[in-house]
Amino acid sequence: MSASATALATELLADEALVAAVADKTVAATRLLRHAARDFAPAVFSTSLGAEDMVVIDLIAGADLDIGLFTLDTGRLPAETYELLAETEQRYGRRIQVFAPRHDALEAYVANYGINGFYDSVEARKACCQVRKVEPLSRALAGKKAWVTGLRAEQAVSRGGLKPLGHDETYDLVKVNPLADWTERDVWIYLHANRVPYNKLHDRGYPSIGCAPCTRPVAAGEDIRAGRWWWETPETKECGLHVVDGRLQRKKSP
């Protein structure tokens, strides 16, 4: 989120109706998270430390829920993301488990495609995501019954069918999306109202943050996902972590 957008979010806090609406959504999201922690244990939250994910971490910590936290360190994340990881652990007093790519798979990818081969084709980019994200995710979710995410339906065309609660066929577990119906505005009202830390890149025009080579700032009026894999079409802009309404298909990891 740009500096001007951040200022706008601050102004929105003066709108009592908007703040009340976010408060209602917060109650509903917390109720869903309690449900996951109670009825689908063990549950884990996968965080990329984006704005939405910081809301979910704050909700989990605030309600003291027994939901594990983990993140995927692809090895190509921006420095600001690592800084926020350390800050988040210190603020909430909870360790966020870090999963990294297998070194042999990563070395094989680079040998085959080159260090920045993901720019060359959708196939090469998805192969990179497979090594750096999808395979580590399969390890992180092993033995779990519920997978909590910070996904929102309005984030991308591939997420339009997102529901608060569903079943992930790839990993055969319950998928919990407490912010499914939240807007970007809702997220920023919550963050500012509760003084939740967030990635500094959001104030430099990065509404969506992934790996450094695959993320750029967006211009005014651009879609919030325009800065992710900007050389591809919107329909291919997923890394393979999420299957939404059957529109993103991929094989199970071995």
Determine the 3-state secondary structure of 252 from DSSP. coil
Residue 113's H or E segment, with its range, is helix 103-113
**What's the token pair of residue 212?**
């450094």
**What's the token pair of residue 203?**
């104030």
59, amino acid identity:
L
DSSP secondary structure code for residue 134 in this structure = I
Catalytic residues, by residue number, are 239
Report the alpha-carbon distance of residue 249 to residue 184 in Å, rounded: 26
Report the alpha-carbon distance of residue 38 to residue 180 in Å, rounded: 20
Q: Which of 83, 32, 79 is nearest to 55 (CA)?
A: 32
48, amino acid identity:
S
117, amino acid identity:
G
Four-CA torsion 53, 58, 178, 199, nearest 10 degrees: -20
CA distances from 229 to 118, 119, 208, 225 (A): 9, 9, 11, 9
Four-CA torsion 174, 215, 114, 138, nearest 10 degrees: -10
